[in-house]
A = this chain, B = another copy of it.
Amino acid sequence: MVSQKMFELGRRSSKIRQIAEYGRARKAEIGNEKVFDFSLGNPSIPAPEKVREELIRLIETTPAEVLHGYTSSAGDMGVRESIAKYLSETFGANADASLIYMTCGAAASLCISFTALLAKGDEVIVPSPYFPEYKVFIEKAGGVTVTVPCEDKTFKLDIKAIEAAINERTRIVLINTPNNPTGAVYSEREIKALADLMQKKEKELNREIYLLSDEPYRELYYGEGKLPFVPNYYKRSIVAYSYSKSLSLPGERIGYIFVSPECPSADDVFAAVCGAGRSLGYVCAPALFQRMIPGVLGLTSDISEYRENREILVGALTEMGYELTPPDGAFYMFIKSPEDDAELFCERAKKHEILLVPSDDFGVKGYARLAYCTSRATVINSLPAFKALMDEYKK
């Protein structure tokens, strides 16, 4: 006799994890280099050297009982101040350290935000395709997930469809740019259009609606300049950030929640964030990695590696006849399944030792996600297999 819901959630582990586990076993069986594993968003590029230097420096110069001691529940104030300074300088945001809550990674940032903002039955608008754990986190916080399909092929926000979905139960619009699983990136124009719509709807419905921006891929952008900083366009903004991808530290669980100082009653929102963190057991994010952050602000892993993987794959796969929209950010691309059923396509790919995730779990049908945060060798060596796979469809 355990919680039936939790039991079921534990039993049917996420599809992504299942495929990754299969990949692990298959590699042990036939050799690492023979499996073309594009299943998991686990960065293949090491953290910047400065991360290593900072960790060693902190360990060698800080008394252990201080270095590994508790920080404040919301995180070390010096660390939060340096992040606020960085955000202000980089994005012209008027960031405030007292509105930054250090978290144990992206999942924590999201779970805390949903718990802080949602009352039972409140709706969260989630553009699809979307990262499947969103739904798990929203439901746990008592909310209801309302998916709204993105535009066909480009996977850009469909503002009209979002407008139609916002109602008197909407509390949050969740966006994720650069996007997992499509690699789409929203331009300033698109962010502005969404912000305008939400402002209009807030007035119309006389209701507070938050824009929650999930940004673990913020720095993984292959275009020019920096991406628009969402809180600069909409006052009631909250950013859920993680260093997992930008610094290649997914295992270390370090990130933060940023409540916009422009947000009306920002202090109350932050209090709710603190309360949610407390009630979920998320106080004092991992201390060593908190303290490492000020020394590496603005750095990223060498994302040119991802850029090249992307270019090789986009070029080669398109030439082979695969349909795909070249991704502008993150390290994912969405490939149209050559047959209607993406699950069958991914099963067929598996026979060529190519591991992809069918799009069904991301809330849309007919695509497969390819995570190209792999070694260059995996990319290169997979090409004949992709060719052979496509040839099956051409017969």
Which residues of A are interface residues toward B (Cβ below 8 A)? 1-11, 13-14, 17, 21, 40, 42-47, 51-52, 55-56, 59-60, 63-65, 67-73, 104-105, 107-108, 110-111, 115-119, 133, 136-137, 139-140, 171, 207-208, 248-253, 268-290
User: Which residues of chain B are near A70, meaning CB under 8 Å?
Assistant: 40, 42, 250-251
User: Which residues of chain B are near A9, meaning CB under 8 Å?
Assistant: 274-276, 278-279
Minimum CB–CB distance from A4 to chain B (whole Å) comes to: 8
Alpha-carbon gap, A2 to B288, bound state (A): 31
Minimum CB–CB distance from A172 to chain B (whole Å) comes to: 11
CB pair B252–A286 under 8 Å, yes or no, is: yes
CB pair A3–B272 under 8 Å, yes or no, is: yes
CB pair B271–A137 under 8 Å, yes or no, is: no
Minimum CB–CB distance from A101 to chain B (whole Å) comes to: 10
CB pair A108–B281 under 8 Å, yes or no, is: yes
CB pair A73–B17 under 8 Å, yes or no, is: yes
Q: A65-B248, A111-B281, A251-B71 in contact; A3/B52 too (CB < 8 A)?
A: no
CB pair B2–A248 under 8 Å, yes or no, is: no
CB pair B68–A253 under 8 Å, yes or no, is: no
Chain B residue nearest to A269 in the complex (CB): B2
CB pair A111–B280 under 8 Å, yes or no, is: yes
Alpha-carbon gap, A17 to B64, bound state (A): 22
Minimum CB–CB distance from A357 to chain B (whole Å) comes to: 15
CB pair A64–B51 under 8 Å, yes or no, is: yes
User: Which residues of chain B are near A72, meaning CB under 8 Å?
Assistant: 21
Q: A17-B73, A46-B65, A64-B52 in contact; A272/B117 too (CB < 8 A)?
A: no
Minimum CB–CB distance from A307 to chain B (whole Å) comes to: 17
- Of B10, B111, B273, the residue contacting A271 (CB under 8 A) is B10
User: Which residues of chain B are near A133, meaning CB under 8 Å?
Assistant: 278
Q: A10-B271, A251-B286 are in contact. List 12 more A-B contacts (CB 8 A).
A: A2-B271, A3-B118, A3-B119, A4-B119, A7-B268, A9-B278, A45-B65, A69-B250, A107-B283, A110-B281, A136-B279, A250-B284
